[in-house]
Chains A and B, each alone.
Chain A
């Protein structure tokens, strides 16, 4: 029974994405949330591939180059940062516009330096904890900047809008996963069981992110003001 639950939980990166995506069929989203929608579709594709490789690589006897899904996680990280970075930069906010662009630039610089000198993007043994940690940290900065602007704007409606729910879901996800990604690689060698449990924390955070995005989609109707 526990194994069934664990399997379902392992596949949460796929089915959790279906919650907001199913909702999309009934509610067309405003342009502001388009980067989030794009991310969901790309994430779904990547996670399906990733989970198939991860769960079925031995059973289906995949070739050598399909024995690891770690490069897909690296790619997922890039896609996630690109989509949410575009999302935050596109927000109709007046402050920190340049700073947001600098953050995107910093991530690009980090990616080039890290994979140019220190890491291999297609490394099979484990995902790039540095990349994912940096991505989570920078996304958290985006979220903080959003909250800061909302707090200073005295706009009470901002806390009821869809952008707030997307940002909050992402904040929860990146705060938890910053540490998960940061400690993931060294933990693999030291305690595999703990590493698996840590990944459960990642999956839980991911489900929360998807639920919050669904809530944002629900609110993104003309009667709600976007923030």
Chain B
């Protein structure tokens, strides 16, 4: 069976047509695909350009924000520096105020101390003037025995004037001694004497400000205490500060309790494991637990506004730490407080 007869001419036409058709289709498909590919690349390129443009825009924006933020931070830094300077300045002023307050208290104590011998000097000098006048009278009356008796009285009076004058002189000398510039040099110091003077000055100071105030001042000193190297003016300032606080506390309690309450402030010294302890205690209002944790912080005070800077104990703490010692506080609220200075021996 062979039914399909196709002439040679027809086969040539079919063959050439078939090939032309095939290659044309190939070319058409290729060109169309290439155009699509080119369009795709073009779109891709456009997209990349758009992305780059957005990226550049975002970069510019980011840089702008960074600049703004930097400027803001610089401004904040300057403000903070300014605030810090102001705080430092305020702190310096407060420290100066505290120093002035301490000086005032010291001056009051010294003035009270000098006032006593001066009263004696004034009284005895008045008495001496009267005695000299009487002596003249007796000498005019030619009564040598009476004149001799008056002369003895004048001598005794002058001796007393001299005694109290010297006492005042000692006080002034002591004041000058303590008003020496704080060189920071340590020297062997009698702590018992320093503590006694501090207690006395503090008490005199508070009495000078409130003549009605009385308190029992007790001392219990270890006589065998060695002289230890400290900066006396600095340690004295600390002890005066501790005593001032103790007197303030008992005074405040006295206001509440009235006559039934007897204020007691005591200062004692002792040695402990090669250290010297100075203990200032009182039976005053005491310190609340929360406050006890903060009393050595600068500017912390339980006193009403205007009565305390909050720097006393902080400065005292720093002074004792500078001596290599410790300052600690114990208290039962309402029953009193115990402040202990521990100095290396």
Contacts and interface: CB of A to CB of B under 8 A. Distances in A.
B36 to A, nearest CB: 9
B15 A178 contact: yes
Interface in A132-151: 133, 137, 140-141, 144, 147-148, 151
Given A144-B22, A148-B29, A190-B8, A120 B1 contact: yes
Interface string B23-34: 101100110011
B34 A152 contact: yes
A220 to B, nearest CB: 27
Interface string B13-54: 011001100110110011001100100000000000000000
A151 B31 CA distance: 11
A186 B7 contact: yes
B11 A183 contact: yes
| Among B2, B3, B19, B33, residue most surrounded by chain A Cβ atoms (within 10 Å) | B2
A41 interface: no
B37 A152 contact: yes
A133 B12 CA distance: 12
A120 B2 contact: yes
Given A119-B4, A120-B1, A144 B26 contact: yes
A183 B14 CA distance: 10
Given A119-B4, A186-B7, A148 B26 contact: yes
Contacts of B1: 119-120, 123
B134 to A, nearest CB: 139
Contacts of A114: 4
| Among A117, A137, A147, residue most surrounded by chain B Cβ atoms (within 10 Å) | A137
Contacts of B7: 186
Nearest to A152: B33
| Prevailing SS type, chain A contact patch | helix
Given A151-B30, A186-B8, A178 B2 contact: no
Interface in B158-176: none
Given A120-B1, A120-B2, A183-B15, A148 B22 contact: no
B3 A117 contact: yes
A130 B5 CA distance: 10
B154 to A, nearest CB: 134
B40 to A, nearest CB: 11
Interface in A48-63: none
Contacts of A151: 30
A140 B213 CA distance: 127
A53 B29 CA distance: 45
Contacts of B25: 144
A141 B29 CA distance: 13
A183 B12 contact: yes
B160 to A, nearest CB: 125
Interface of A: 114, 117-120, 123, 125, 130, 133, 137, 140-141, 144, 147-148, 151-152, 175, 178-179, 182-183, 186-187, 190
6 contacts: A118-B3, A147-B26, A148-B29, A178-B18, A183-B11, A190-B8
